Amino acid sequence: MTTKTDTELLQLLKPITIHDKPLFDKYFSTFPSKTSELTFANIFCWSEIKHTLFCEYNNHLFLSFRGEDGIWGIFPPIGPNPLALMFQNLFGVEDYYWARINEDIANKINGPHKPTLDMTTSDYVYKIEDLVNLAGSDYHGKRNFVKRFEKLGPKLRPLTFADAPDCIHVQKQWLETQKENVSAIEESTAFIKAATYKQTFPMHSVGVFIKNNLVAFAIGEPLNKTTFVEHYEKALPHYPGAYQFLLHKFAKSIPKQYTFLNREEDLGIPGLRKAKKSWHPAFIQKKYILKLHKNVKDYL
């Protein structure tokens, strides 16, 4: 049985449209995120894939999605006091969990039931100056790859809406190398939506061209006052050094006011984890999950 409050909240949840951007921007500017998912562009582009719903309730923004196991996942409420709402039975259902809980919130949950660290969704965060300078022995191999790629005479410029078809071509060529990788298919679907709506929420981008042909691109946006987030980074196959060159140049292009670059999670994929660790992150932005049982008061 649901309470009146439960019913109200369930009835408020709805799909995201492009017209909801001002509301999301208001919350994200007032309560900036540390986790890579929480920008309007990212949420909107993934919303159909993840079956994302949202509502504004008690001066907080709620976001729900369908998890990989089919269980209802909910982000911590975005607003002045998320903990006060997380431990109320707001949804009137038992089978859901809080997902992508940042470390600040997780550390405030002091009851007997603790959130569980989820390394597959935790973000890799780098010092931008490290990616720009590539100094020291840690980056010796990266410097060599960059120099090797530079021999091909690459040119760089920001992407425009006219480049969208070429970006989609690069993305699809990359996808051909990811056979039976469901997350890669989902990412490509989200990217095509991002390219389609580029004029609506223009993001920061770098395109790498060889003989006027796009061979690599990176796209990101501000996450908070100190951190940029990179949502997409792709290169055509058979260009050794393209990814190293791309990330190095993308880092150089980020406005000087930002100190860190969040390059998102590794999804538990061994090769992706190895690649992200090879760039020597400054820290991991940890994320947690918490499966609630009937009596949410047990978690306080």
pLDDT at 1 (0 to 100): 34
Domains 4-121+286-299 and 123-264 share a fold: yes
Instruction: Report d(CA 169, CA 164) in Å as an integer.
Output: 9
Q: What percent of the chain has pLDDT over 70?
A: 92
pLDDT tens for residues 122-174? 999 999 999 999 999 999 999 999 999 999 999 999 999 899 999 999 999 99
- Provide the residue ranges of all domains of the chain, joining segments of one domain with +: 4-121+286-299, 123-264
Question: At 134, which amino acid appears?
Answer: L
Residues 170-196, mean pLDDT to the nearest whole number: 90
**Selection from 20-29, 179-188, 283-292 with the highest mean pLDDT:** 20-29
pTM over 0.75: yes
Residue 231 in this model has a pLDDT that exceeds 70:
yes
Instruction: Report d(CA 81, CA 79) in Å as an integer.
Output: 6
Residue 117 in this model has a pLDDT that exceeds 80:
yes
Residues 284-295, mean pLDDT to the nearest whole number: 82
Residues 236-252, mean pLDDT to the nearest whole number: 96
Instruction: Report d(CA 101, CA 15) in Å as an integer.
Output: 22
Beta strands in 59-154 (DSSP E): 60-66, 72-74, 96-102, 116-117, 123-127
Beta strands in 58-95 (DSSP E): 60-66, 72-74
pLDDT at 89 (0 to 100): 67
Residue 86 in this model has a pLDDT that exceeds 80:
yes
Residue 282 in this model has a pLDDT that exceeds 70:
yes
Kindly state the greatest CA–CA separation across the chain: 67
- Superfamily name and number for 4-121+286-299: Gcn5-related N-acetyltransferase (GNAT) (3.40.630.30)
Element (H, E) at 220: strand 213-222
pLDDT at 3 (0 to 100): 44
Domain 123-264 has CATH 2.20.25.240: no
Helix (H, G, I), strand (E, B) or coil at 14: strand
Q: Please report, for residues 150, 266, 270, the alpha-carbon distance to residue 121 in angstroms, rounded to integers and kept in the order given.
A: 33, 7, 13
pLDDT band at 180 (very low <50, low <70, confident <90, very high): confident
State the distance between the two ends of the chain, measured CA to CA, in whole angstroms: 23
pLDDT tens for residues 203-215? 999 999 999 999 9
Instruction: Report d(CA 47, CA 56) in Å as an integer.
Output: 17
Q: Are strands 72-74 and 96-102 parallel, antiparallel or unpaired?
A: parallel
Instruction: Report d(CA 275, CA 279) in Å as an integer.
Output: 7
Q: Which two tokens stand for residue 284?
A: 């991991």
Q: What value does the mean pLDDT of the chain take?
A: 90
pLDDT at 155 (0 to 100): 98
